[in-house]
Amino acid sequence: MVSRVKTGTVIGLNAYEVWVETDIINSLPSISIVGLPDNAINEARDRVKSAIKNSGFTFPAKKVVINLAPADLKKNGTSFDLPIAIGVLIEEEVLTSEQVQDYAFIGELALDGLIRPVSGVLPLVLGLKNAGIKNVIVPSINAKEAALIEGINVYGAQHLSDVVSHFTENKISQTKVNVREYLCDGTISDFEYDFKDVKGQHKAKKALEIAAAGGHNILMIGSPGSGKTLMAKCFASILPPLEMEEALELTKIYSVSGLLPPERPLVTQRPFRSVHHTASANGIIGGGSNPKPGEITLAHRGVLFLDEMVEFPRNVLEVLRQPIEDGEIVISRAQHSVRYPADFMLLGAMNPCPCGFLGDKEKQCSCSDFQINRYLAKLSGPLLDRIDLQIDVPRLTSEELVNSTTREESSATIRARVINARKIQLERYKNEDILTNSELTSKLIKKYCQINDSLKELLKAAAIKYQLSGRRYDRILKLARTIADLDSSKEIGQIHLMQALQYRMFNIEDYGK
């Protein structure tokens, strides 16, 4: 009689139900696994055999055939060890099919029968719940992560013998968690860098506040030592706390990537991914024969920081254009394609020229016009068109640096204004399936970014003078909407539009002129 045990597999961020079918055939002892398994699953033959024997059970001295259905779906990972072992134990009459019919199983087995944690448990359990599964047994270390999904009973097991005992003797205690307890409480005590430690640079700080409030992209250009990198590190401390749906979405991403700490089953802070300029295009967008999330997906709902932005290869920067526009990345392979979310804020920092001192008040630039033009040309027009705020960050004078007595605003104060602006946006877009102003489409811009006739004339004049593209025109309106939200204004006023134009019209080609 063929036994059938339920489990699942993850492709991208989506989980699919898989049936592990086991049959015993009167033939020479061997184990055969079919159904498009990868190498990790094929190696489960030896792990499962040793785990069953070392747990005090017998392994059949016949041919064991295991089919992973549906057979045309690619399976990967080590999470199939436990369901395969359960299928064999049913064939050995240690368990019955009736006992496990309402259960699904996930877990890797050690040779002594211990159940090791696996990646991707959260999307797996969510997919199994949507498939109608009522109960799931997972590694004990993954239990809290799995219990984040409501509507399914989660049991964490440490050993294969514990799973058998669950059906025959002592039932494993159900794991329950309160998801809300894991979310941030609104404090910034976990951040090392604070804006109160940044002297001056009030224009740049305001630009970063606007970017955080509306989810906008920003590029800082200035001399070495002007504070660009320090302010970028402080930027994480003014980002608003995650909403529940954002936290769960991020947790799925980090679970699939194997980056979720066992002690923190829910991602509770917006990611801040700082990428070195030696990163490859695949490292940024994701990829591989079995596609995995890249940096832009790991920065979803957070920040992707590119320090010394022009030092990145041009082809790496150009692959950012489509994800910035669409908020997602589709990675296609011969047999399948996967879709990953990539709604991130791009935060870039760069020098204005190779020597770094173009336009500096204290030190003379030593670069030729040819060197400067070649240096700035590494950032293409289409990429710059997608960056909402482009700001000059001048170096502080010696007087400002040494004798500054001004008390700077703390990150907590700035963050309070950002949170208030985000609340306004959440209320405004509660029926639109978006969260921030940066996500507004052309249709929604017409609905939520309306301006009066005099402001239309002002914007028309700016469009003629600066030869605005349609994308840049829309981004100015979205930027003005965010500035108005920070001002708690329902309407976009002249001061809001003028400030948006000021941040948007800075041209790096004219830097230092």
**What pLDDT score was predicted for residue 405?**
60
pLDDT > 90 in the chain, percent: 64
Q: Are residues 134 and 242 in the same domain?
A: no
At 274, which CATH number? 3.40.50.300
**What pLDDT score was predicted for residue 197?**
84
- What is the domain extent for residue 117? 3-177
**What pLDDT score was predicted for residue 185?**
45
Q: Residue 265 domain-assigned?
A: yes
Q: Are residues 265 and 343 in the same domain?
A: yes
Task: Give 186's pLDDT tier (boundaries 50, 70, 90).
Answer: very low
Q: Are residues 52 and 24 in the same domain?
A: yes
Strand 286-287 to strand 292-293: parallel, antiparallel, or no bridges (unpaired)? antiparallel
Q: Residue 183 domain-assigned?
A: no
pLDDT > 70 in the chain, percent: 95
Segment 208-217 mean pLDDT: 94
Q: Are residues 253 and 165 in the same domain?
A: no
Closest CA to 21 of 70, 62, 57: 70
Which tops the pLDDT comparison, 332 or 123? 123
Q: Mean pLDDT over all residues of the chain?
A: 90
Tokens describing residue 344:
């991130």
Region class of 308: left (phi > 0), else alpha (psi between -120 and 50), else beta: left
Which residue type sits at 355? C
Task: Give 404's pLDDT tier (boundaries 50, 70, 90).
Answer: low
Segment 236-244 mean pLDDT: 91
Segment 310-315 mean pLDDT: 91
> In the predicted model, is pLDDT for residue 149 greater than 60?
yes
In the listed set 121, 143, 177, which residue is the last one of a domain according to the structure? 177
**What pLDDT score was predicted for residue 263?**
79
DSSP 8-state symbol, 151: T
Strand 63-69 to strand 30-34: parallel, antiparallel, or no bridges (unpaired)? parallel
In the listed set 143, 177, 211, which residue is the last one of a domain according to the structure? 177
Segment 17-42 mean pLDDT: 94
**What pLDDT score was predicted for residue 106?**
97
Q: Are residues 39 and 91 in the same domain?
A: yes
Q: Are residues 126 and 264 in the same domain?
A: no
Q: Are residues 155 and 293 in the same domain?
A: no
**What pLDDT score was predicted for residue 178?**
81
Q: Are residues 357 and 212 in the same domain?
A: yes
How many other C-beta atoms can be found within 10 angstroms of the C-beta atom of residue 511?
18
Which tops the pLDDT comparison, 512 or 126? 126
Segment 335-363 mean pLDDT: 88
**What pLDDT score was predicted for residue 189?**
58
Q: Residue 322 domain-assigned?
A: yes
**What pLDDT score was predicted for residue 364?**
87
387 touches 348 (CB < 8 A): yes
Q: Are residues 66 and 132 in the same domain?
A: yes
Q: Residue 185 domain-assigned?
A: no
Q: Go through 365-388 and write b for each residue having 16 or more CB atoms within 10 A of its CB, e for each that does not.
A: bebeeeebeebbeebeeebbbbbb
Segment 261-276 mean pLDDT: 89
Q: Are residues 171 and 297 in the same domain?
A: no
335 touches 74 (CB < 8 A): yes
Which tops the pLDDT comparison, 402 or 425? 425
Q: How many domains does the chain have?
A: 2
The residues that bridge with 17 in the sheet, in sequence order, are 8
> In the predicted model, is pLDDT for residue 494 greater than 70?
yes
Q: Residue 187 domain-assigned?
A: no
**What pLDDT score was predicted for residue 331?**
86
At 103, which CATH number? 3.30.230.10
Q: Is 57 helix (H, G, I), strand (E, B) or coil?
A: coil
Task: Give 41's pLDDT tier (boundaries 50, 70, 90).
Answer: very high
Least confidently predicted of 167-176, 197-206, 342-351: 197-206
Q: Are residues 488 and 358 in the same domain?
A: yes
Q: Residue 186 domain-assigned?
A: no
Tokens describing residue 74:
């690619």
Q: Are residues 162 and 232 in the same domain?
A: no
Cα–Cα distance for residue pair 69/62, rounded to 1 Å: 22
**What pLDDT score was predicted for residue 506?**
57
Q: Residue 132 domain-assigned?
A: yes
222 touches 439 (CB < 8 A): no
pLDDT tens digits for range 103-125: 999 999 999 999 999 999 999 99
> In the predicted model, is pLDDT for residue 73 greater than 50?
yes
Segment 242-251 mean pLDDT: 91
**What pLDDT score was predicted for residue 199?**
82
